[in-house]
Amino acid sequence: MYILSSAELPAENQTKLKNAFPEETFVFCNNMDEASEFLLEANIIITYGEDLTENILDQASQLKWVMVIAAGIDKLPFEALNKRNILVTSAKGIHRAPMSEYVFMMLMLVYRQGKKLIENEKNKVWTRDIHMEEITGKSMLIAGTGVIGKEIAKVAKAFQMKTIGVSRSGRDISHFDKNIAREEMIHYLPEVDFVVSVLPSTPETKGFFQYEHFKAMQGHAVFINIGRGDTVRGEEILKAVRDKEIYHAVLDVFETEPLPSDDPFWEEENITVTTHLSGVSPHYHNRALDIFSENLKAFQEDRNELMNIVDTDKGY
Catalytic residues: 228, 257, 276
Distance CA 200, CA 81 (A): 19
Rounding to the nearest 10 degrees, give the CA dihedral for residues 233, 239, 245, 246: 60
Distance CA 21, CA 49 (A): 23
Query: Which helix (H) or strand (E) covers residue 237, if one does?
Result: helix 234-242
Q: DSSP labels for 107-172?
A: HHHHHTTHHHHHHHHHTT-----------TT-EEEEE--SHHHHHHHHHHGGGT-EEEEEESS---
Distance CA 109, CA 315 (A): 35
